[in-house]
Amino acid sequence: MNLKIQVFNCKLLLFIIIVISSYSICYGQATWQSSIVKFATDGKLMYVADANLNRVVDFSWAGYKNSNEPIPTITKIISTLNPAVGVDNTTAINSAITAAASVTPDANGFRGVILLKKGNYQINGTINLNVSGVIVRGEGNDPAGTVLTAVGNTPNQRSVFVAGGGTSAQWKQVGSVKTNITTQFVQVGSNQFNVASTTGFAVGDEICVYHPSSAAWITAVGGGGVDTAAPWTAGQIDIMFNRTILAISGNTISIDAPVMNHLDLSLTQSYIYKIDKTTTKTKIGVENLSIDIQNWTSFRDEAHAWEGLVMADIEDSWAKKVTALHFGQSGFQTFTANRITIDSCQALWPCATLSGSCRDNFQIDEWSSNILVSHCIADSARHSFEVSGTSKASGVVFLRCTATNATNPSEGHFHWPQGLLYDCFRDYGTMTDVVLGIYNRGSMGTNHGWAAAHSVAWNCDLRRTATTYGDLVCQQPPTAQNYMIGGFAYVNRSGKIPFPQYPLGYVEGVNNTNASLNPQSLFEEQLKERLAKLTTVLNPLADHTDFKAYSTSTNTTIEYNLYKESMVSVQVYGINGQLIKTFILNEMQSSGLHQKTFDVYQINSGIYLIKLTIDNFSTTAKLIVSHQ
């Protein structure tokens, strides 16, 4: 074990040196741009669609709170634990989590930090971080820091750490309200559509955009492209997006993140419904610790704990600087997860056979949406960075991640996941087979078929030497497209494509040693542009056209638009500056259009100023009240 730790530390240093060297070698002063994602005359990215309206989408909504703000640093410590040496620490940690539920959340929804001091914590069971607003933080993700050492195999192949509600919520419908999408063709990348009725829906609702896999759609995608296996069947590959309503205007609904697949009314009737959030936990963090699974006798042993960190039934949460070691299935796994960031984490040295559902170091599973995996390292994986969530996973970004010693590709794995981005992905292994795949897997496994749609490999580096590369396969699914833009790889080489009878995807600018791709990172540029726009319009002093105040004979109505989650106050002042009434005081509200209605008789007839305060900005609107 100690020898392995020393090797671990040396490898991390080697990874850093290689990555820095790679960046300094790859990116000189000369640049080039893609013909389909390029800077317009205003300096902003423009996207060129093909004849079938396929286009590269905006991936920048992935991550904690749609990446609208960075992962926060929570300073309030609500409990501190030291390791109990030689005994099980599971109950002590879970008891601290349970006790944290009694702590009142602050204005931002955080209760505080459970601090695990340096040392080795024997874990015989499963840690359940199932209280919203709680962060479990260690004092280092190296052997000298905080180490959760999972021992024993009871129950068989258990998860060591589960963050979130931990249930199979699966974005189920709450209540009976749902409505059909009536727009004939919602293009991939769109965040607006018309519906039959908005009754029962409100700004801030979390909804599922549901695309049934009708017989017509199955036919349109060629039965799934499963080669000689039985084709997919209707109802098997339904597409689901977890989204938040930002605005409602008439029968038009605007959502936070774009859809990652065309919604074509001629093929299937898509609809929306509200998601049951009863068990979902939010604003949870796991930071600065390591999870080391024991009781393995070889790197093929499977009689031990199985997953390191599982993030399930969870949203707006993160894992940061966490290391998972010697797991069987995955070091990090998401399931029923939305707006999650996994940053600066390592998943190393899995112990399991090289077979299905094993050694998938970073695994994005079903009902996962808007997931950002950034600056992470995977070693000795079967699949280093994999989306195995079928058609129920989308909007997944692997940003500046590194794989070493993999035996199979990083890839979309099966059954039509959409909107995957491998951005500045690096692979430094020696594998001579396919290293990265956004492609068709045909009759592999359970009739895997098309394993990625509307997905992008952007500026990926699969070099083995200055002149030799690993292989990347990029193929085009029916009704969709996949893209390989820039980077270094052998692309779609004869003999390397598992099912070569299917068409190739869009490939541009690969192995260009004379100039670097601009932008270097697609996600980072998309996010920079979106946040710049958000910052510009957030200040109500600069743009408050959405702020309205008016009265009828019965009600006073206040309308305003929030471009991110914000602290809001609404107060009524007389024309002499005297505070008359406070409607809302320091209330955290979600992004989107808000409409607040109050009984008109709460204030007397007269002329008033309504003051709206959003975070640190304030503005006013005139209000005339007349009691008749």
List where CATH 2.40.30 sits in the chain: 173-275
Please report the pLDDT score of residue 426 as a whole number.
96
From CA 346, how far away is CA 12, in angstroms rounded?
9
- The CATH number given to 173-275 is 2.40.30
Positive/negative CA dihedral, 591, 597, 603, 604? positive
Beta carbons of 150 and 305 less than 8 angstroms apart: yes
Those residues whose C-beta lies under 8 Å from the C-beta of residue 386, and which sit 6 or more positions away, are 360, 362, 363, 364, 410, 411, 412, 413
- Helix or strand holding residue 92 (H, E): helix 90-100
Record: fold of 540-625:
Immunoglobulin-like (2.60.40)
The token pair that represents 398 in the structure block: 């692997």
SS3 state at 25: helix
pLDDT tens-digit readout, 167-213: 878 999 999 999 999 999 999 999 999 999 999 999 999 999 999 99
Q: Between the CA of residue 357 and those of 32, 307, 327, what are the distances in Å? A: 40, 11, 12
Share of the chain above pLDDT 70, in %: 93
Note the pLDDT tens digit of each residue in 399-425.
Answer: 999 999 999 999 999 999 999 999 999
φ and ψ of 97, to 5 deg: -65, -45
The pLDDT of residue 577 is 74
- Is the pLDDT reported for residue 2 higher than 80? no
How is 538-591 classified by DSSP, letter by letter? H-TTT--TT-EEEE-SSEEEEEEEESSSEEEEEEEEETTS-EEEEEEEEEEE-S
pLDDT of residue 23: 41
Q: How confident is the model at residue 13 (pLDDT cuts 50, 70, 90)?
A: very low
Pair of tokens at residue 388: 């195995």
CB 120 within 8 A of CB 147: yes
Q: How confident is the model at residue 29 (pLDDT cuts 50, 70, 90)?
A: low
pLDDT exceeds 70 at position 459: yes
3-state SS, one letter per residue, for 304-352: CCCEEEEEEEEEEEEEEEEEEECCCCEEEEEEEEEEEEEECCEEECCCC
Q: How many CB atoms lie within 10 A of CB 297?
A: 9
| Average model confidence (pLDDT) across the chain | 90
Which residues of the chain does CATH 2.60.40.10 include? 540-625
- Average pLDDT, integer, range 301-316: 94
Tens of pLDDT, residue by residue over 534-588, are: 654 444 444 434 677 777 777 888 888 776 677 888 888 887 778 888 888 888 8
pTM value is 0.84
Radius of gyration of the chain (CA): 26
Q: What pLDDT shows up at residue 11?
A: 45
Q: What is the pLDDT of residues 67-108, one digit of tens each?
A: 999 999 999 999 999 999 999 999 999 999 999 999 999 999
99-153 pLDDT, tens digit per residue, is 999 999 999 999 999 999 999 999 999 999 999 999 999 999 999 999 999 999 9
